[in-house]
Amino acid sequence: MFDLSMIEAVLLTIITASTPLLLAAIGELVVERSGVLNLGVEGMMIVGAVIGFAATQATGSPTFGIIAALAAGIAMSLLFGFLTLNLMANQVATGLALTILGLGLSGMIGEAFIGQPGISLEPIAIPVLSSIPFIGPLLFNQDLLVYTSYGLVLAVYLVLFKSRTGLIIRAVGDNHASAHSLGYSVIKVRYLAVMFGGACSGLAGAYLSLIYTPQWVEGMTAGRGWIALALVVFASWRPARVLIGAYLFGAVSILQFHAQAAGIALPTQFMSALPYLATIIVLIMISRNKTLAKVNTPACLGKPFVPDR
């Protein structure tokens, strides 16, 4: 029978497993709201992970590592933006190429860091609130990136749905020709959205190498970028639903460890495949609801914009 401390421990592991998914997905949500489909989330995450780890090892400061990971994610996103927004390259093909590039580049950079112990980012306890039984350790004694993930969800909601800036982003994503005719720079808006998505993916990667498992392991993103992409669709491009979805998927991903600890006799391969099986099931369920998909999907998603000459 579970006691309160055991439940608290399980919930803490769910938060840890969910945070990189939430960070990457909330960034991709803004990207797709602007009408751009970036399938290179996995590549940006893995580069953020290795650069964040390398910068932390070089400086001894996890904070500097986070900044470096954020910059690496933006740099990768700028490459994607140049190819798709300036050169009009196919967004799907470019995103896949970005992932392949990121995996290869991270393997090359990270070779020198394999086996080195990492420097973990310490949690920040909020005075008084962190002392509240059960709730305090869960919500108010977390690391900087967990707090950042919550702040980003709120900020993205307020900007997208409560501000003029968000109205412009959604207008560009829904009808870029009309937005252009009203005098808005479609390319500029999409560049900024893509850069924001890259920054969030870089932070998600830094979380993996500095907090989730404070070390560098080649391929440590392990498909989380693809799950983040599915999360955006699962959430119907709504920030609050991304938060819920990330924690649901995070719970599924750590289920394998608790099931094994409880002595449940299931093949380890099946337990490891559960998060990806859940992703497939969710996408099938969403695809069956055509009305929901049409109402919430940005109308210009994945479509290139050629400005008037």
Q: Is the pLDDT of residue 10 over 90?
A: no
Q: Between 4-33 and 144-162, two packed helices, what is the crossing angle to 10 degrees?
A: 40
- Residue 186 — pLDDT band, cuts 50, 70, 90? very high
- Residue 137 — pLDDT band, cuts 50, 70, 90? confident
- Residue 4 — pLDDT band, cuts 50, 70, 90? confident
DSSP the chain: ---HHHHHHHHHHHHHHHHHHHHHHHHHHHHHHTT---TTHHHHHHHHHHHHHHHHHHHS-HHHHHHHHHHHHHHHHHHHHIIIIIS---HHHHHHHHHHHHHHHHHHHHGGGTTPPP-PPPPEEPTTGGGSTTHHHHHSEE-HHHHHHHHHHHHHHHHHHHSHHHHHHHHHHH-HHHHHHTT--HHHHHHHHHHHHHHHHHHHHHHIIIIISSS--TTTTTTHHHHHHHHHHHTTT-HHHHHHHHHHHHHHHHHHHHHHHTT----HHHHHHHHHHHHHHHHHHHHH-HHHHHHHS-TTTT-------
Instruction: Return the pLDDT at 307.
Output: 77
User: Cα–Cα–Cα angle for 23, 32, 194, nearest 5°?
Assistant: 70
Q: Is the pLDDT of residue 144 over 90?
A: yes
Q: What is the mean pLDDT of residues 81-104?
A: 96
pLDDT 10s digits, 17-45: 999 999 999 999 999 999 999 999 999 99
Q: Assign domain 15-118+133-296 to a CATH class.
A: mainly alpha
pLDDT 10s digits, 50-72: 999 999 999 999 999 999 999 99
Pair of tokens at residue 279: 């992703």
pLDDT 10s digits, 235-286: 889 999 999 989 988 888 787 766 666 666 666 667 667 777 777 787 777 7
Instruction: Return the pLDDT at 193.
Output: 98
pLDDT 10s digits, 203-241: 999 999 999 989 999 999 988 999 999 899 888 899 999
pLDDT-wise least confident of 74-78, 86-90, 123-127: 123-127
Instruction: Return the pLDDT at 260.
Output: 64
pLDDT-wise least confident of 83-87, 176-180, 304-308: 304-308
Tell me the pTM: 0.92
Residue 88, Ramachandran bin (φ over 0: left; ψ between -120 and 50: alpha; else beta): left
- Residue 1 — pLDDT band, cuts 50, 70, 90? very low
Instruction: Return the pLDDT at 261.
Output: 64
Instruction: Return the pLDDT at 215.
Output: 92
Best-predicted range by mean pLDDT (171-185, 259-273, 291-305): 171-185
Q: What is the mean pLDDT of residues 67-91?
A: 96
